[in-house]
Amino acid sequence: MATASRETELPPKRPGPINDPLDVTIIRPRSSFKLIDIKELRQYRDLFYFLVLREIKVRYKQTVLGGLWAILQPLLSMIVFSLFFGRLAQIPSDGVPYPIFSFAALVPWIYFSNALSYSSNSLIANQAFINKVYFPRVAIPAAPIIGWLLDFVIAMAVLFIMMAAYGIAPTPLIALLPLLVLIMIFAASGAGMWLAALNVHYRDFRYVVPFMIQLWMFISPVVYPMSLVPEKWRFIYAFNPMAGVIEGFRSALLGTIDFPWTLVGASTFTSILILLSGLFYFKKTERFFADIA
């Protein structure tokens, strides 16, 4: 008795991973310029979270005091400023003790200066990362901007403790604090992207940035009130984004002066302008980062 044979038809063999179009990612240049690609940023949000977390962890790694530097940095600066500018130079402090006067300015200023410094050097520090992996390059200078907010929150907590010790209660205008923080973040982000991109093309900027930040501090009302600025210069002075932030902090928290609406408005305009122009320059030059970083 003959037995019928049964043939099983096997599916066609898939080609190897190199020739399989399902396993190949093709990166093409954009057909149009986009200042911010929200969809792409959302896709890489986990990578951005990793960059921010790494920024926080690496900052105080192998340090003796660790996170205590978030408190000591503004505290030690306040002591030095109070000694030299408050006691020796007798700089006025708008009716409040000079230590709390200077500390209220140092909290936003130290965030701004540190975020700007780390952001400006971020592309150089991550050049091996840039050359190997594709991701939105804007995530690199943005990571220090977000990472330093943790130190800012800690310093703010110390400021509130000092206010309680001096018997100073915040004014109802404390509700405007988120606006001032947003202006501060915009200014640091825009300036950070400008300097990060320029630092890739011109390595001289790594030496210019510390001097620029120091100069920026002295043209901001950190150690002195804005009332000392001559009247004829105040219009130009108002376009320093940190001037509105610092005076706004003092007004909202310490009640030193009436809230400087005009000054804050000018600072808001300048910070948005710096942010948009910095983002535009960064996006226009990022295609060359992998070649020259």
As given in the structure block, the two tokens for residue 145 are 């901007």
As given in the structure block, the two tokens for residue 25 are 């990612």
Structure confidence at residue 291 (pLDDT):
55
**Which carries the bigger pLDDT value, residue 136 or residue 258?**
258
Alpha-carbon separation of residue 223 from 102, 231, 243 (angstroms):
6, 18, 12
User: Is residue 5 scored above 50 in pLDDT?
Assistant: no
Give per-residue pLDDT as tens, 138-164.
899 999 999 999 999 999 999 999 999
Structure confidence at residue 10 (pLDDT):
47
DSSP 16: P
Alpha-carbon separation of residue 192 from 170, 260, 281 (angstroms):
31, 26, 11
Structure confidence at residue 32 (pLDDT):
55
Cβ distance 278 to 190 under 8 Å? yes
With a CB cutoff of 8 Å and minimum separation 6, the contacts of 36 are 279
Residue at token pair 């896709």: 43
Comparing C-alpha atoms, which of 42, 51, 29 is closest to residue 287?
Answer: 29
pLDDT band at 23 (very low <50, low <70, confident <90, very high): low
Model-level pTM?
A: 0.84
> Distance (Å, rounded) from C-alpha 251 to C-alpha 263?
12
Give per-residue pLDDT as tens, 207-246.
889 999 999 999 999 999 998 999 889 889 999 999 999 9
Comparing C-alpha atoms, which of 91, 115, 99, 140 is closest to residue 216?
Answer: 115
As given in the structure block, the two tokens for residue 113 are 């200066």
